[in-house]
Amino acid sequence: MNRKSQQKFDRLFTLNIPILAMLIFTLFPLYWTINTAFKQEGEIVQRPLSYLPVSPTIDNFVTAWTNVGFSTYFKNSLLVGVCTVLIVLVLSTLSGYALSRYKFKGKRPFLLMLLCTQFIPRSMLIIPLFIIFKNMGLISNPLSLIITYAAVEIPFTTVLMNGFISNVPRELEEAAMIDGCNRLQAIRHVIFPLLIPGIVATSVFTFIYTWNEFLLALMLTNQQGRFTLPVGLSYMMGEFNINYGALAAGSVIALIPAIILFAYAQKHLVNGMGGAVKG
Amino acid sequence: MYKKLSKTLLASSMAAALLLAGCGGQDSAEKSNAAPKKDDPNEEVTLTFWDENAGPQRTPIWEELIKRFEEENPNIDVEYVGLPKDSAKTKYDAAIAANDTPDVGSVQTSWLPEFSLRDALLPLDSYFEGWDQKDKINAGAIDFNKDIVNDNKLYGIPYTQNLDILWVRPDWFKEKGTKIPETWDEFFTAIEEQTDKANNRYGYTIRGGAGGSFQLQRLMYAYSGEEEYIKDGKSTINSPEHAEFLKKYFALYKEYTPKSDITNGYKEMIAGFDTGAVAMVQHNIGSFGEHSEALEPDQFQAIPLPKTPDGKYVAEGGNTIGVSIFKDTEHPEAAWKFTSFLNSKESQSYWNQEVGQIPTNADVLEEAWVKESPHIQTAFKVYDDPNTILYKPPFYLPEYRSILDSTVDSGTQAVLSGKMSVEDFLDEWATAVEEAQKKYDEHFKK
């Protein structure tokens, strides 16, 4: 065996086969969900299993979208997700900047505190949050979810942003200020463009969290038309009848924005992660 | 410099505020669309109704009933809120803690003691007494609901009931000449006869995983015929009859049931029956829909749990779901109107026929669809038999559910895997119940 074919052989066992195995492992559930989503109700429970729908149908999507009300839940989830991401971005970029660039007393304890907020179990907060939002008249209002999600995410994303900003050399900013920028202009024109990977990573994290959050979404909403997608998905699982078809179709619908987001953000995300690790 | 920064910060926070206001504005616009005003503004009433088991199957049934109700009562608007089954109790708990309960709700009977202790529910005795159809509702179920709460008032009107039964494969029983079991001896013989391991066929399947405790308890009491769960502070859980039964029952494991039973949840257990791997399974009539989807009509049949040695059926009391009115409602009259509407013959008939459960309104039991549903007939036969024993689980104990979920479910697995003896398991279970009862008695100074 010459060297070239030896290399090829090594590559096969160290790269191609492991990657293929991993792909099968991660993609199979996805394939099965999509497969189930297009099957007719009877075919789903039928044995032997069919690996492709025999007579494909979009009935499950219609059930999920119209009968179960996914169109409404989808809209609600999108509204909550986008608003939360915007708030989190503005606040965590600014506070991340402060943590990275200014020296002040108690900075370390403050950072530690930010991390500690992540240890509080969410289910402990339900009743206090409910009472607070009830007194504010915000129950069943998307604002209650947006505020809560932003509050939950900001400490973590601030720490994340702090890392990204620390990676941008201070000298760039100083050079801009020597050329006549004030601090905010320097942030906008010099730091911001360099932060794009970090911003994308933060947005994706935040969006995925709001998109998947179930407990608070159920607890802080008392109106059918205000629930978000995870609540809608949980309707498909009663003890006596699990509507596998509609559940799968609903999952596929819920997956679409996440997939689009990741496809778009992939390049930045990898860069962003690298930055976070270094920071 | 700082001035500029603070100005910009102010500007950005204002922008954020505008953004928030934007979301809010959209929201209030939606609100006015969602609740169209009715013609008569003076009598306009809006009720909220919470469904504790929402989903594509049950939600449309409630929506249809609400539509019918609103047509009859144009001044009352009912707003439906569906809760996913697994989180419904948590949602009610939070609502009660924050005094933000719905007007009317579908409430499982086992929740009544706790909700009434927390002073969340409206007593319905006077409304019920004045209702012309009160005699139609199963008196046993009504009495049971009064019995289990601390102040013996009526807090929920049951609209549906369920019953644990055995689902069997009549085609296989016929093929092998096995007798459909009516006694416990026949039950164990049938399991042995139906097992054919060479062909991957088992006589029975045990629910060893989540939720198995509830079913196990129903089997134990059906075997012993014991009427009391707790007698003078002592639990009957560890009675010799129960130990005798469990020894025989758990001995089936691996010999006549699949090895995977130790982790069986609802889905796995039903899948075993529906895919033709086991000949008999214990569940309730609620799984009818799944069997009918997977099997042919002549491949499954509902039979009651075997009778006690003295020939009596046993059923667990409180296997019902009812409509309750919450105390903070501003419209108790309208809420009662809706509650009684849901329990009328027409509503109960529609709901139970669609879901496949047993109505509590006697008039419905005369209808053709009930007579043509063999599984409902089976359940009805048990409830209608005057000799049937209804034992009362201690729903009023705050720890009742957690004892079953943690002590009993994990104990079952320990016994199945041979790490614990049946006696130790039952003693541990009984002790947990007795301690919970003692705490309860001390609290209410009985």
pLDDT recorded at residue B33:
40
Residues B147 and B208 in one domain: no
Residues B158 and B242 in one domain: no
Residues B292 and B413 in one domain: yes
pLDDT recorded at residue B330:
93
Give contacts of A 144-173 with B, CB under 8 A. Answer: 146
Q: Report yes or no: B211 and B265 within 8 Å, Cβ to Cβ.
A: yes
**ipTM confidence:** 0.78
Answer whether residue A242 is part of any domain: yes
Q: What is the DSSP letter of B206?
A: -
Output the domain CATH number for residue B238.
3.40.190.10
How big is chain B by its Cα radius of gyration, in Å? 25
pTM here?
0.79
Q: Which residues of B touch A184 (CB under 8 A)?
A: 4-5, 8
Give the β-pairing of B389-391 and B314-316.
parallel
Answer whether residue A269 is part of any domain: yes
Q: Which of A42, A139, A143 sits opposite B293 (nearest CB)?
A: A42
Residues A142 and A253 in one domain: yes
Residues A194 and A71 in one domain: yes
Residues B325 and B229 in one domain: no
Q: What domain count does chain B have? A: 2
Answer whether residue A148 is part of any domain: yes
The residue among B386, B405, B421 that closes a domain is B386
Query: Is A188 strand, coil or helix?
Result: helix
Q: How confident is the model at residue A243 (pLDDT cuts 50, 70, 90)?
A: confident
Residues A13 and A118 in one domain: no
Whether B97 and A41 lie within 8 Å, measured CB to CB? no
Residues A16 and A119 in one domain: no
Question: Which two structure tokens, joined as six digits, stand for B222?
Answer: 């059906």
| Min Cα–Cα distance to chain A from B221, Å | 23
Residues B304 and B323 in one domain: no
Q: How confident is the model at residue B108 (pLDDT cuts 50, 70, 90)?
A: very high
pLDDT recorded at residue A1:
60
Answer whether residue A46 is part of any domain: no
What confidence tens digit (pLDDT) does each residue in A188-202 have? 888 888 888 889 889
Q: How far is residue B287's CA from residue A28's CA, in Å, rounded to a whole number?
A: 29
Q: Report yes or no: B169 and B300 within 8 Å, Cβ to Cβ.
A: yes
| Min Cα–Cα distance to chain B from A17, Å | 32
How high does pLDDT run on average in chain A? 86
Answer whether residue B150 is part of any domain: yes
Residues A33 and A119 in one domain: no
Cβ–Cβ pairs < 8 A, chains A and B: 126
**Between these two residues, A274 and B267, which has the higher pLDDT value?**
B267
Residues B146 and B293 in one domain: no
Torsion of CA A42, A45, A50, A53, to 10 degrees: 40
Contacts of B135 (CB under 8 A, 6+ apart): none
Residues A33 and A73 in one domain: no
Answer whether residue B184 is part of any domain: yes
Residues A271 and A230 in one domain: yes
Answer whether residue A42 is part of any domain: no
Contacts of A229 (CB under 8 A, 6+ apart): A70, A73, A74, A76, A77, A211, A250, A253, A254
Whether B27 and A142 lie within 8 Å, measured CB to CB? yes
Residues A99 and A12 in one domain: no
Residues A21 and A67 in one domain: no
Residues B57 and B148 in one domain: yes
Q: In this structure, how many other beta carbons lie within 10 angstroms of the beta carbon of residue B180?
A: 15
Residues B288 and B436 in one domain: yes
Q: What domain count does chain A have? A: 2
Answer whether residue A45 is part of any domain: no
Q: Give the Å distances, CA to CA, from B188 to B196, B246, B314.
A: 15, 12, 18
Q: Report yes or no: A129 and A220 within 8 Å, Cβ to Cβ.
A: yes
Residues B378 and B422 in one domain: no
Q: Report yes or no: B107 and B52 within 8 Å, Cβ to Cβ.
A: yes
Q: In this structure, how many other beta carbons lie within 10 angstroms of the beta carbon of residue B293?
A: 14
Residues A200 and A266 in one domain: yes
| Min Cα–Cα distance to chain A from B354, Å | 13
Output the domain CATH number for residue A261.
1.10.3720.10
Whether A240 and B286 lie within 8 Å, measured CB to CB? yes
Mean pLDDT of B218-240: 93
Residues A136 and A25 in one domain: no
Answer whether residue B135 is part of any domain: yes
Q: Report yes or no: A208 and A259 within 8 Å, Cβ to Cβ.
A: no
Mean pLDDT of B173-190: 95
Q: How far is residue B274's CA from residue A46's CA, in Å, rounded to a whole number?
A: 10
Residues B215 and B274 in one domain: yes
- Interface with B, mutate which of A87, A241, A243 (most B CBs under 10 A): A241
Q: How confident is the model at residue A239 (pLDDT cuts 50, 70, 90)?
A: low
How high does pLDDT run on average in chain B? 87
- Residue in chain A nearest B11 by alpha carbon: A90
What confidence tens digit (pLDDT) does each residue in B1-54 have? 444 545 554 455 444 444 444 444 344 333 334 333 334 445 789 999 999 988
Answer whether residue A31 is part of any domain: yes
Residues B188 and B300 in one domain: yes
Residues A150 and A260 in one domain: yes
Residues B156 and B172 in one domain: no
Question: Which two structure tokens, joined as six digits, stand for A222?
Answer: 């008392």
Give the structural domain span for B269.
164-317+397-444
Q: Report yes or no: A227 and A221 within 8 Å, Cβ to Cβ.
A: yes
Give the structural domain span for A7.
3-37
Buried b (16+ CB within 10 A) or exposed e, A85-109: bbbbbbbbbbbbbbbbbeeeeeeee
